[in-house]
Structure 1
Amino acid sequence: MPSYKLTYFPVQALGEPIRFLLSYGNVEFVDERFNEEDWPKIKPTTPYGQVPVLEVDGKKIAQSTAISRYLAKQYGLAGKNDWESLEIDATVDTIHDVRAKIAAYSYEKNETAKQEKLKIAKEVVPDYLKRLDDQVQKNGGYFVGGALTWADLTFVAILDYLNYMMKENIIEKYENLKQLKQKVEEVPAIKSWIEKRPSTDH
């Protein structure tokens, strides 16, 4: 059994999809969370100067989506065939497009630019969410293939982060996405992870 260590900031954000997947796979993993002030020391030790970083038997790898896809393949969450894998990838990329639009607003320091980016987020994000909601409805309550995949885990895992940045519950009006969230959070391995993880707001 490989040994896993995840290194990330002390928040959910981009680390959480990986933590969901490792929990789903029922593997022990070291959940290393460092403080902001230690980042300059840690940064040079990472492959691309960014986190999350997953160590698998001491080998370091970065890029949260690539790590998630790798783990999903190990745990049977990457689709039943190449086409489903492609649909999952497209869905995950779309979820990260939503994140990018919200983050552009959230991290903007200039007040004028911030308002402009908020306006864009408020126009674009509901359109994405409506399409994702329809997708879940068409696919038997999941994003792809009528079954749980890493697209579902990714969405639910970063939802707190999206809500935190947007300062609202972004799925409030989307019944299918709300049901999906509930379903993912009720998967026993995910449920027990949520119960024991450190408490953070995003």
Structure 2
Amino acid sequence: MTRVLGVDACKAGWVGVLLNDGEVSAFVAGSIDQLVAQAGSPESLDVIGVDMPIGLPDTAPRQADLLARSAIGRLSSSVFTTPVRAALLAPSHADAVVVNRELTGQGISIQAYGLRGKLFEIDNWARRSDSLVVEVHPEVSFAQLAGAPLTVRKSTWAGAERRRALLAEAGIPLSGELGLANQAVGVDDVLDAGAAAWSALRVAQGLAISLPSPPQTFADSWPAAIWV
């Protein structure tokens, strides 16, 4: 029996799509620990795919981010450049911009800096997880599913329906309430968690590839790569 979990951030905290031998279910929780606990004991999950950078760079952009942009083409703006760890540890966005620019020659957006809480939550959790944890990027997963980069954003009706259809064709039907009534979870969040689950399943089956291959390693020793 193969059980994998795809995870994406959302307003409520985290949303997960669980694939359990063909059965699909969804969960929402305020913390990643709570989310994984809802999906079952961590030891029972073969792979957890997370739509969040894991493996923070030291002095230069990550190869994973650059390769992901290349893989999805027109929608490449959905891949943000992961700030260096020292910048994310800075006490303010202004300080983070200075640090990141000194180390990489680039600034850091306020949106990227605002994600530091979730970035460090995943960074700390992944190292103590009893399951294999891999980084994914949903748009890279959808491009792989479609056989070509998508050109319509998932924030549009056509874009959401295209992604829903791709997941359904892959055996991940995201239809009905999924137990998410009254939860602060957007359509795009659930679609992204579904794509993350698809990539996690490919890792479990030995079918996935990593961007880059082999993964890149920084001072934090995590093998940084996006798996698809």
**TM-score, length-normalised on structure 2?**
0.29
Structure number with greater CO (CA < 8 Å, separation at least 6) is: 2
Q: Higher helix fraction: Structure 1 or Structure 2? A: 1
Q: Higher strand fraction: Structure 1 or Structure 2? A: 2
**TM-score, length-normalised on structure 1?**
0.31
